[in-house]
Amino acid sequence: MTTSSRSIVVTGASTGIGRAAVFALLEQGFRVFAGVRDPAAAARLADAAPAGSGDRLQTLMLDVTNASQLAAAAGSVERAVGESGLWGLLNNAGITVNGPLEHADLDGLRRQLEVNVVGQVAVTQAFIPLLRRARGRIVNIGSVAGFMAMPGLGPYAMSKHAMEAFSDSLRRELRPWGIEVSLLRPGPIVTDIWKKGVSDAEALQRDLSSQALADYGPLLGALYRLGKQAERHASPPEVVTRAVVHAFTASSPKTRYLMGTSSGVRKWLARLPDRWLDALITRTLRL
């Protein structure tokens, strides 16, 4: 099969890594089904697609937590690919919910896990039958937060730790059918998530009680400063899309890809004894 006859589904394709991945895969000659949550995003994606790729890009209305949308999307893809099956699935959709766990909004925490974990499982379940036909590949977007959890970022880190386990179990379960599963672990990447993170941090400080601010104000301030610093040194989305392309085209894709500014350093730090790392993080945040 040539890349032009191979199809890949990308979730969370409206912005950031998902959008960049759609364009990179189109440039490689793949047919791409891009999952978005509103028609305006679909129109923007189609308008910005690389020249000559219009007939290979199809948008899907797909909120990964919406069962009826997921069923409709899976049906559309199956009708399009037929017995050839689906070559790839990029599980990229995700949100961030942060703050000290003592004061975590439980509805927000449920939403974090529903989108970043349960939604990924639901999408994967829906497309495995098509992936099995093509002996295809699954690529999951994790994070350096999946192996190094910072204070104040617990809900997001919990979801990315779960993606580590999900990817490992899934890879071993699907091995008999030759379906490869890769996990991408990017560090800070230049996307709109940083602007949203800053606004969320400001909203969190407004919403917390006076006692919570007294207890965790220094931590929130330190994370705000750290986030602004990370935004200035974040890597471009292309460092992730290169790994995406490799995972879908290499004869033997990696099970894990590490990329982006500081990701290697964090991986090394994560090997330190827990107490040493705790002390280092506390000192770095000046708490």
**Is the whole-model pTM more than 0.75?**
yes
pLDDT digit string (tens) for 70-95?
999 999 999 999 999 999 999 999 99
Confidence at residue 209, expressed as pLDDT on a 0 to 100 scale = 84
Domain 3-191+236-270 has CATH 3.30.565.10: no
Token pair belonging to 19 = 């959008």
User: In the chain, where are the structural domains located?
Assistant: 3-191+236-270
Give the residue-averaged pLDDT of 141-147. Answer: 95
Instruction: Classify residue 166 by its DSSP letter.
Output: H
Q: Round to whole Å and give the CA distance between 80 and 8.
A: 12
Q: Is residue 229 very low, low, confident or very high in pLDDT (cuts 50, 70, 90)?
A: confident
Based on the residue annotation, tell me whether 156 is a catalytic residue of this protein: yes
Reported as type and span, the H/E element at residue 274 is helix 274-284
Confidence at residue 199, expressed as pLDDT on a 0 to 100 scale = 66
Q: Is residue 222 very low, low, confident or very high in pLDDT (cuts 50, 70, 90)?
A: confident
Q: Which residue has the higher pLDDT, 193 or 227?
A: 227
Confidence at residue 198, expressed as pLDDT on a 0 to 100 scale = 62
**Given a cut of 90, is residue 232 above it in pLDDT?**
no
Q: Round to whole Å and give the CA distance between 265 and 185.
A: 13
